[in-house]
Structure 1
Amino acid sequence: MTETVSFGYEDVAPDEKTARVGEVFRNVAARYDVMNDAMSGGLHRIWKDVFVRRVKPRPGEQFLDMAGGTGDVAFRLATAGAAVTVADINPAMLEVGMGRAAERGHDGLVWSEMNAEQLAFPDRFFDGYTIAFGIRNVTDIPRALAEAHRVLRRGGRFFCLEFSTTLWPGFADVYDAYSHHLVPKLGKWIAQDEASYRYLVESIRRFPDMARFEAMIGEAGFVQTRVEPMLGGLVAIHSGWKV
């Protein structure tokens, strides 16, 4: 791991990034889903639906939904019959998710406060590993990918939904202006937190492009890696298999 890592447009020490990302999500947890709707016009719901359809969870399978705090992906996996452990490094996000689960009757989920870089699960424990809009906030991404590979059984699948860089001419410029200028203002108006949403936008810009991140998944040991761009790559589904 390098001596510094990105926190938005800043380069900081790894421990500082972990602490500052924790603060960001403590600040936004209560309004996180409302902000997702506002920022994406509700599209994040469609993206997650498509994501889980690609995962193809089956009854009886064991899934780890990492950085799954508010439960959006876990609820979809559980509805398909999978047994789901929701893990997140941030207790405030888990608290929101557990409250939502109780309201919706999802009482079979397991909730665990855990760092993606240091999973407490044994080797070859899960059939599937999902992470949606969380990997770019991890301090040591290669280490987290290696841990994902470790806890999957042979034949297990890794799926990641994450923002990337759209390749559509014209749309990229429009989205760039929207995300840099309007999203932080939405954060201020809706969540009373402009700085956290400025970081979240900047973190997308610093995240590896689709080809590089796919290569990183392969470097972690996964095979048959694939990337499926949506909206020209604004959002992408990355996947790989453990053999």
Structure 2
Amino acid sequence: MSEQRTTATGGMETAYGFRDVDAGQKQGLVNDVFHKVANRYDLMNDLMSAGLHRVWKEAMVTWLNPPKRDGWRVLDVAGGTGDISFRIVDASGGNAQATVLDINGSMLAVGKERAAKRGLSDNVEFVEANAEELPFEDATFDAYTIAFGIRNVPRIDVALQEAYRVLKPGGRLLCLEFSDVEMPILDKVYEAWSFNAIPRIGEIVAGEGEPYRYLVESIRKFPNQQNFAAMIGRAGFDRVTYRNYSGGIAALHSGWKL
């Protein structure tokens, strides 16, 4: 069932799950997936990870440790539903200013509605744009976060270079992504669950299984922890490191613009 992961030198540009597509075609296909799953996205994350994505996201925000002071800015990329940004604002005592950027308008619509319900519209703004071409000046943000989104970006190296560009000196990148399971036995159990149960759950809960089949396949194609850390380093980041969660089902990568 497993397919070969892409390497530190690229390969995700034309990988739509296990299918190879033409350069430039992937982004439209991925957009269609997220238009379909937007209203059930966080619910499906619960089902796909048995609720563990909430624990991993809390760990991400804890490691970020946003300061409780005015003027601190974070860019949350591919964060359309606002899940990470809301947690960051809460952890900062309501002082952080978050910009949620997503290429998918359906995901952003969900996030805007949730921000309004939480009374966070003054702290969180929403921007529809491409991670490969950020509409911000150099050295704008104190932090850049992306959770479970980088593997859906066709040109990951370009997105990482853009992350570096918009960060202030001393700024930090944090990237949470499904990764390469490193625990024996768990890897086989996780693979069986992913390929057999998740698409079926998608059919029942969201009415479609195909988008979730892509999401599962895209996890298997994404570079492993060491290769992705190498990509972050090549984008210019220093002190690059990562932490595995749940045996490597997810990994949190950190890098600094020094």
TM-score (norm 1): 0.98
1:219 correspondence with 2:230 = no
Of 102, 105, 108, which aligns to 1:94? 108
Displacement, 1:4?
A: 5.6
1:228 aligned partner: 243
1:116 aligned partner: 131
Displacement, 1:14?
A: 2.8
Paired residues of 1:63 and 1:129 also in contact (CA < 8 A): yes
2:3 aligned partner: none
Specify whether residues 144 and 155 from structure 1 end up closer, same or farther in structure 2 by C-alpha distance, changes over 3 A only.
Answer: same
Of 46, 49, 69, which aligns to 2:80? 69
Give the counterpart letter for 1:78 in structure 2.
V
Of 59, 62, 87, which aligns to 1:53? 62
Paired residues of 1:4 and 1:11 also in contact (CA < 8 A): no
> What do you get for the CA RMSD once the two structures are aligned?
1.2
Quote the Cα distance in structure 2 between the aligned partners of 1:112 and 1:13.
Answer: 27
Displacement, 1:43?
A: 1.2
Specify whether residues 2 and 133 from structure 1 end up closer, same or farther in structure 2 by C-alpha distance, changes over 3 A only.
Answer: closer
Displacement, 1:3?
A: 10
- In structure 1, list runs of 5 or more residues that go unmatched: none
1:168 aligned partner: 183
More off after superposition, 11-20 vs 62-71:
11-20
2:39 aligned partner: 30
What percentage of aligned pairs have identical amino acids?
49
1:84 aligned partner: 98
1:107 correspondence with 2:143 = no
More off after superposition, 101-110 vs 193-202:
101-110
Q: Secondary structure at the match of 1:181?
A: helix
Quote the Cα distance in structure 2 between the aligned partners of 1:14 and 1:188.
Answer: 29
Quote the Cα distance in structure 2 between the aligned partners of 1:4 and 1:218.
Answer: 19
1:138 aligned partner: 153
Displacement, 1:166?
A: 0.9
Q: Secondary structure at the match of 2:142?
A: strand
Give the counterpart letter for 1:199 in structure 2.
Y
Q: Secondary structure at the match of 2:168?
A: strand
Quote the Cα distance in structure 2 between the aligned partners of 1:96 and 1:175.
Answer: 29
Quote the Cα distance in structure 2 between the aligned partners of 1:158 and 1:184.
Answer: 31
Quote the Cα distance in structure 1 between the aligned partners of 2:48 and 2:215.
Answer: 11
1:16 correspondence with 2:25 = yes
Moved over 6 A (4+): none
Paired residues of 2:12 and 2:222 also in contact (CA < 8 A): no
1:43 correspondence with 2:58 = no
More off after superposition, 50-59 vs 213-222:
50-59
1:186 aligned partner: 201
Q: Which has the higher contact order (CA 8 A, sep 6+)?
A: 2
Q: Secondary structure at the match of 1:145?
A: helix
Give the counterpart letter for 2:101 in structure 1.
A
Displacement, 1:231?
A: 1.2
- In structure 2, list runs of 5 or more residues that go unmatched: 1-9
Paired residues of 1:160 and 1:239 also in contact (CA < 8 A): yes
Quote the Cα distance in structure 2 between the aligned partners of 1:137 and 1:88.
Answer: 11
